[in-house]
Amino acid sequence: MFSDVGASDATFTVPEPVAAYAAPRPWTLLEELIFASDRRDAPLTVGTVLRTDGPFRERELRAAVDDVLLRHPMCRARLRTHPVTGREWHFPEEAGGEVVAVRSGRGDADLREAAAEAFARPFDLRVEGPLRVVLVRMPAGDALVVAAHHVAMDGQSVELVARGILEAYADRVGRPADAAADVYPPGSGVGPDLLDAPAPAETPPAGALAADAAMLRRRAPSRLAPAHSPAMGGPPRWAGDLGWRLAPPRRTRYGLWHAAISLPPRRATATGARLTVNDVLMAAAHLAVERWNRGQGRASGPIRIRMPIDVRPAGQPPTVGNATGQVIVSTEASDRLERASLLAAITRQTQAGKSGEPTAEPGATAGVLGTIPFALREPLVRAGVGVSRRIVMPSLCLSNLGRVMPMPRSVEGPAVTSVHFAAFTGMPQGLTIGVAGYDGLLDVTFCYHRRLFDEVTVRAFADVFTAAARELG
């Protein structure tokens, strides 16, 4: 939910890079459940994509990332598994491994592909930390992709990490650059000439939208109807009720589409309840699913959308970790007949979800499960998560990071121009709509699985969603 408090330009000083100590600890129940949902072909990842108006100095950026790794033990955590007690986090004093990668691109499509690859590549937490950073050199200004494994971080954490990187970078770049070679080190594969190269105009792929009847499964009508453009090779075939066949080989299984919409004005519902930006977005998501399914020749009954919430205790300072709960927001077809009834149904559930007590403390251990030897507990947890995923998991999640304060910048830049929050998971939840408010706009990221959408159809769904948000706002 967006705060009414205005954003501040104040920054904090990054301390000297000394490794913060953290003792090994067993995994929490939340971490166990998230890890049980993780699949190598569909890792659970979260992160941010920051667009800027200029270039970064690569050497100083790498040093800034190292500073953040030392400040936050979770960013350099490693997984250790005991045959009896189970998984534990260990926090080495040295970060180890290559965290920062550099890519080059000439347009938004290249940036989306670089970001999708960073989110789609699985983490091996035994030998690498749960964080990766990709610097994408772009003609109009570099982009910074901060991707993390969801078992270790949530949305607030990755925003904190991204902000910390820019703070540490600003502390290291306190004077103008002496030469362009400092910004683009030799051997980086890019150079100042890239800044002068015109970006090619992007044209959407040709092809009309088409729904494939073979993709429609007998499931709850709240699912999004999959659709793929003929120009993209068509959808994968359905292999019965037990699972999806692998999609045709493609660059990654994940994809992103970005949009920006204006902040809707503050309003109240017909019952007098305060209408938040998050309520408008959630109502727009419900309306968009119904309109999309209707356009694919499929009627919608009950629609269920997952909404992550922060369960950190009130007043606790921000920390890097995962403290995510969730609320399932549902509407019936009758709720969606009129704007007033839809918004009333949404606000009633979101307010109840935010005011309710957390189901578990973020640091709580696995309780009864913890008394079962790991060798027996592990298959039970994975089987339970697998069954529940197929039965109760909605196909859409709306995750709102809220209003993001202005990102820090050094005296020579670059300045962050947009903040896109991203989160990915595997089917059947094939779409996450990530939202972050920045610089007076809502930056909206449609994070999709390619078994549900392709580049053409996700753009079409994004148009349906943004139109619904403007209509309701």
pLDDT of residue 85: 79
pLDDT of residue 180: 39
Band of pLDDT at residue 234, cut at 50, 70 and 90: very low
Amino acid at 409: R
465 pLDDT more than 90: yes
Other CB atoms within 10 A of residue 260 CB? 14
Residue scoring higher pLDDT (189 or 352): 352
Q: What is the pLDDT of residues 192-216, one digit of tens each?
A: 333 322 333 333 333 322 222 222 2
What would the mean pLDDT of 395-415 be, rounded to a whole number?
90
Residues of the chain with pLDDT > 70, as a percent, come to 73
Listed residue (191, 91, 103, 89) closest to 147, CA to CA: 103
Report the range of poorest mean pLDDT among 136-150, 274-288, 356-370, 452-466.
356-370
pLDDT of residue 132: 96
Amino acid at 69: L
Amino acid at 151: V
Q: What is the pLDDT of residues 139-168, one digit of tens each?
A: 999 999 999 999 999 999 999 999 999 999
340 pLDDT more than 70: yes
The C-alpha atoms of residue 223 and residue 269 are separated, in whole angstroms, by 27
Residue scoring higher pLDDT (272 or 254): 254
Q: Where are the beta strands (DSSP E) in 188-322?
A: 254-262, 267-268, 274-275, 303-310
What would the mean pLDDT of 110-135 be, rounded to a whole number?
95
123 pLDDT more than 90: yes
pLDDT of residue 309: 86
Band of pLDDT at residue 128, cut at 50, 70 and 90: very high
As given in the structure block, the two tokens for residue 85 are 């007690």
The CATH code of domain 220-394+446-472 reads 3.30.559
| pTM for the full predicted model | 0.78
Band of pLDDT at residue 108, cut at 50, 70 and 90: very high
What would the mean pLDDT of 49-56 be, rounded to a whole number?
96
305 pLDDT more than 90: yes
422 pLDDT more than 90: yes
DSSP 404-427: PPPPP--TT-PPEEEEEEEEE--T
366 pLDDT more than 80: no
Contacts of 335-344 with C-beta under 8 Å, sequence gap 24+, read 335/286, 336/286, 336/287, 336/290, 336/303, 339/471, 339/472, 340/269, 340/270, 342/283, 342/286, 342/287, 342/472, 343/269, 343/270, 343/275, 343/279, 343/280, 343/283, 343/472, 344/269, 344/270, 344/271, 344/273
Residue scoring higher pLDDT (265 or 145): 145
pLDDT of residue 68: 93
In this structure, the strands spanning 303-310 and 324-331 are antiparallel
The domain spans of the chain are 220-394+446-472
pLDDT of residue 74: 93
pLDDT of residue 197: 29
**Count of alpha carbons within 13 Å of 398, Cβ hemisphere only?**
25
